[in-house]
Amino acid sequence: MKHQVYIGLLFGFLLLFMSCASTISMLVDVEKPALVTLPVKAQNVIIVNNAVPQPMGYGIDAPSGKYPEMDSLYIKILKTASWRLAMDVFKNLDDSKFFSDVSLYKRSLREDNEWLSVVPVDEEIKRDFFENENFDMLISIDRLLFNSTFEKDKPELGKMEAILTFSIHLPGETEPIEHTITDTLKAYYAGADYNGAPSVNPVEINTEMIRQGSFMLGEKVGMFFTPNWKTVERNYYISDLPDAIATSNYIDKGNWDEAKRVWTGEFGLEKKAVKRARLANNIALASEMKGEFEVAEEWAAKAKALFQTASPTKYAKDIAYLEEYIKALQERQSDNIELDKQYGVSK
C-alpha cells in the first residue's frame, strides 16, 4: 500500500564519461508510521490547553529589571508557552491531512495555580467534546516546564531543557494514554561586541530558547500521531555508459517493471559472481520501488551472498551496505503493518 517516491539522484554530468562499473546513489522517500498507533483511526481531533504557566524564578531566571521591554516579552513568552505549543501541535496535525478535522479549543481548562501538577481533564468536559461535539480524540497539553542553566567556561551561552507531559483521550476509554517528552536546546554566540563580551543577555537567550523549545516539542507531538516521510539513500550499479543511460531512463520515468525485467534477464545469463551480485542488488532496488519488500529482501540477501562468494575482503563495503539494506527492508515491512493499522486498512 505504501509507495516510495524517488526525489533525486546523486547522478552527475560526469556519468557521460564513464566506461567502467560504478556504484551510484539515489535518494528515496520512505513512509514512517506515527509513533503511536491508536486502537481506532480517529477522524475528528480536538486539542486543549490543560497546563498552568510556569512562574518566573522556578527553573529559569526571573527578569533583572534592567530592560523593561525585554523583560515584558520574556514574561509573555513563558506565560503563553503552552498555548504556542498547542498551536504548533494543531498546525502539524492539520497540515498532515491525516485527520478529517483538527480543532484547537481556545479556552484554558485550568484556573488553579498548581503549575507542577498534572490534573486530568474533567469527565464532563470530555463527555461534551465526544458526545455533543462529535470529536473522537482529545489531545490534552497537561504540563510544560523549562529548566535553564548558564555555566561559565562553556562554549554555549545557555542550555535549556523543555519537558512536556500530554495525554490522549478516546471515547469509551476510562484511562488516558499519557506521554512525557523532552528536548534540550543550547544557545551559542557567533560573534562578540567591541570589548569581546557577548551582546546578548540571559533574558534574551531564555526568551528565544522557550520559543524554540515550544516549537520543537510541538513538532514531536505531531510525529506521535501522524505518519511522516524520511529521506534515505539507496545504491545501485551500472556497468558501462549504455547501461548508465538505460538505468537513468528507468529511474527518471519510474519504469521499475521494465528495469526489473531487464536486470532479471541479465542475472539469468551472467556467470561471474560479482556481476550477478550487482544485478541482484539492482533487482532488489527495483522490487522495493514497486512495493515488493519481501522480494526485495530476498534479492538483497542473494546479492550479499554473491559478493561474499566473489571476495568478502574486496567487496566488504558492498556487503556492509547490503546488511544495512536488508535491515531497512525488514523495517519497512514492519512499518507497513503499523501504517495499515494507522490508515485503517484491513487485510
Q: Grid coordinates representing 61?
A: 531566571
Cβ–Cβ under 8 Å, residues 234 and 285: yes
pLDDT at 241: 87
Q: Grid coordinates representing 346?
A: 484491513
Q: Domains for the chain: give ranges and CATH numbers.
A: 5-32+233-343 (1.25.40), 44-226 (3.40.50)
pLDDT at 1: 43
Concatenated DSSP letters of 17-55: G--S-EEEEEEEEEEE--S---SS---EEEEEE--PPPP
> Quick one: 341 exposed, middle or buried, by C-beta within 10 A (0-12, 13-18, 19+)?
middle
Give 260-305 pLDDT, tens digit per residue: 999 999 999 999 999 999 999 999 999 999 999 999 999 999 999 9
- Segment among 70-84, 140-154, 252-266 with least mean pLDDT: 140-154
Query: At 342, which amino acid appears?
Result: Q
Q: How is residue 61 annotated by DSSP?
A: P
Cβ–Cβ under 8 Å, residues 159 and 146: no
Helix ranges (DSSP H) in the chain: 68-79, 81-96, 123-127, 202-225, 241-253, 256-269, 273-289, 293-310, 316-343
Give 86-118 pLDDT, tens digit per residue: 999 999 999 999 999 999 999 999 999 999 999
Average pLDDT for 26-44: 87
Give 172-199 pLDDT, tens digit per residue: 888 999 999 999 988 876 654 434 444 5
pLDDT at 70: 84
CA separation for the pair 61, 57 (Å, rounded): 5
Average pLDDT for 230-247: 93
The answer, yes or no, to whether residue 12 has pLDDT greater than 50, is: no
Cβ–Cβ under 8 Å, residues 59 and 35: no
Give 47-84 pLDDT, tens digit per residue: 999 999 999 888 887 777 777 888 899 999 999 999 99
Angle, CA 70 vertex, CA 68 and CA 76 arms, to 5°: 100
Long-range contacts of 240-247 (CB under 8 A, 24+ apart): 240/18, 240/19, 240/20, 240/21, 241/16, 241/18, 241/19, 244/15, 244/18, 244/22, 247/24, 247/282
